[in-house]
Structure formats: C-alpha cells, structure tokens
Amino acid sequence: MPFSTIATPDAKPVANYKMATRMEGGRLLYISGQVAWDASGAIVGKGDARAQARQVLQNMRGVLQAAGGDLSNLMKITTYITKIEDRPLVAEARNEVFSGELPASTLIVVKQLFHPDFLVEIEGIAAV
C-alpha cells in the first residue's frame, strides 16, 4: 500500500526524517518522536522540561493539523524523558494542552535523547 509523509512547517525536521506517515486509504497516522524544536531549528526551553513538553505537543498539533486533525485525534502517545523528576512538569504541560479525554499513554525514562539539550520526546498514533 502507498504511504504519504506528513510534516508541519512549525518544527524543523532532522535530515532524512519523517515527522509522520499515513497509509493511503487508512485513517491511522504514525507520528515520529517530536522534540522541542521550533521552525528555525532552535531548541525551545533548554533546561526546562515543562517548556519543552509544551513545544513538543505544539509540534504534534502542527503535524496533526497538516494531516487534517488535531490533538483530540491522538489515540496513544509514548513520552520519553531523561529525568524522572521531570514527570510532574511534563504532566502539567500535557494537562494544559489537552482538553477533554487524554489519549492512552506510556512514559519511559531514558539516559539521553539524541541531543543532550533535549529533555522530552513524544511520539504518537492518531486516527485522522
């Protein structure tokens, strides 16, 4: 089956990276891990997990909008953080951004993300 790539102009993708992939004729959208980059490629919220989580979710919102949806279309998210102490900050940002029911969620603590300044990365699956 053919696939299409979905991207948002609000966040700069890493070279050779897909922000999201959708199978044509299907409704499922697989969103790659999003980090706290803005459209110019600058890291937002260095040292601030709450600010990074907000930017990450904003980037996810942009990908979903580019696919014709919004955050309410998310069915599942997986959140990666580098310090368990940041969990409450990430949860606060998530609660600020989502209205209504939250998607199914998994939290994983990792030693480091692909750049040492990133504290939060979130990937998702949406039905759009």
Angle (CA) 82 86 87, round 5°: 100
Residue 52: strand, helix, or coil: helix
Q: Mean pLDDT, consecutive 10-residue segments, the chain of 128 residues?
A: 73 67 78 95 97 98 95 95 98 92 93 97 95
Does residue 19 contact residue 13 with C-beta atoms inside 8 Å? yes
pTM (predicted TM-score): 0.85
Q: Which amino acid is at 100?
A: G
What confidence score (pLDDT) does residue 109 get?
99
Total tally of structural domains belonging to the chain? 1
> What CATH number is attached to the domain comprising 23?
3.30.1330.40
For residue 6, give the H/E element and its range.
strand 3-6
Containing domain of residue 79, as a range?
A: 3-127
Q: CB within 8 A of 95, min separation 6: which ones?
A: none
- Alpha-carbon distance of 101 to 82, in angstroms, equals 26
What confidence score (pLDDT) does residue 9 get?
80
Strand partners, 28: 127
